[in-house]
Amino acid sequence: MNKREIKITEDGSTTIELIGFNEHFHSIHGAIQESDHIFIRHGLKEKAKELTDIAIFEMGFGTGLNALLSLVFAEKQNKNINYFTIEAFPIEKELVEKINFTKKLKLSNELSRCFTEFHSLPWNSKTQITANFCFEKQYVFFENLNLPCNFYDLVYFDAFNPDLQPELWTESVFLKLYQSMKKGGILMTYSAKGKVKRALKFAGFQLKALPGPIGKREITQAIKM
Ligand SMILES: C[S@@+](CC[C@H](N)C(=O)[O-])C[C@H]1O[C@@H](n2cnc3c(N)ncnc32)[C@H](O)[C@@H]1O
């Protein structure tokens, strides 16, 4: 894994830059605003209209931002979330300590402690972080991961962009995710590339093009019908 550095995005929240690849973990127009728009507003909020218990799979734990925003949502809306995330290249402790999400979101000490726990908990074990939020992270490559069938209500597909990681945006990857999801399940991704949409359609998803967050015209919501 290349060297990584903390950067401040336009909404003041931190992200990580992959040095030498001109690639960031989030939009430089705002990490929190991007994750909130794509994964919470168009993913979690949609599922929460019909469900109280929501099983989420995240491709790429990274900074833990999506997990944190999901936890905040679960606490505010009193939803039960079963959150499973994977990561092949965990970020170093020195970088984790520089992440400012809890400060930017003005979170309580209790929720800030949960964010620290996301990072400090051991890999490959499940923890009931709050009464509403069960969390598990696995240190594994997606390619080596077995997922249960018909289990997830929501998938946050947050890999690096398709030009950098073409092997993660293929028909077979999306088929694996499709099979792991329940009927009516939603997969959210920031990508609206033609190649990505074709691969999602091939896997069986029905697609909706949605307006993107600041700095991005369109994002994709893929539904298992
Ligand atoms: C765009 S970043 C997003 C991270 C995270 N969702 C966040 O909000 O910080 C993509 C993440 O996927 C991880 N990743 C890349 N390839 C992977 C693979 N084959 N299997 C599992 N994780 C991978 C990267 O290390 C990185 O943390």
For strand 23-24 and strand 53-59, is the pairing parallel, antiparallel, or unpaired?
Answer: unpaired
DSSP characters over 165-195? -GGGSSHHHHHHHHHHEEEEEEEEES---HH
Fold held by 35-223: Rossmann fold (3.40.50)
Ligand 1, atom 25, lies closest to the CA of 89
Tokens of 75: 């606490």
Alpha carbons 157 and 220: distance in angstroms, whole number:
10
Please tell me whether the overall predicted TM-score, pTM, comes out greater than 0.95 for this model.
yes
State the chain's mean pLDDT as an integer.
97
How are strands ordered across the β-sheet holding 125-130?
125-130, 133-139, 80-87, 53-59, 152-157, 181-189, 218-223, 206-211
Helix, strand, coil percentages in the chain from 3-state DSSP, rounded to 5: 35, 30, 35
What are the pLDDT digits (tens) for 77-98? 999 999 999 999 999 999 999 9
What are the pLDDT digits (tens) for 99-123? 999 999 999 999 999 999 999 999 9
Q: Give me the pLDDT at residue 43, please.
A: 98
Q: Give me the pLDDT at residue 1, please.
A: 64
- Residues 11-21 have a mean pLDDT of 96
CB 154 within 8 A of CB 56: yes
Whole-number Å distance, alpha carbon 59 to ligand 1 midpoint, is 6
What are the pLDDT digits (tens) for 157-202? 999 999 999 999 999 999 999 999 999 999 999 999 999 999 999 9
Alpha carbons 120 and 96: distance in angstroms, whole number:
10
Whole-number Å distance, alpha carbon 195 to ligand 1 midpoint, is 20
Q: Which of 216, 214, 196 is nearest to 205 (CA)?
A: 196
What are the pLDDT digits (tens) for 41-72? 999 999 999 999 999 999 999 999 999 999 99
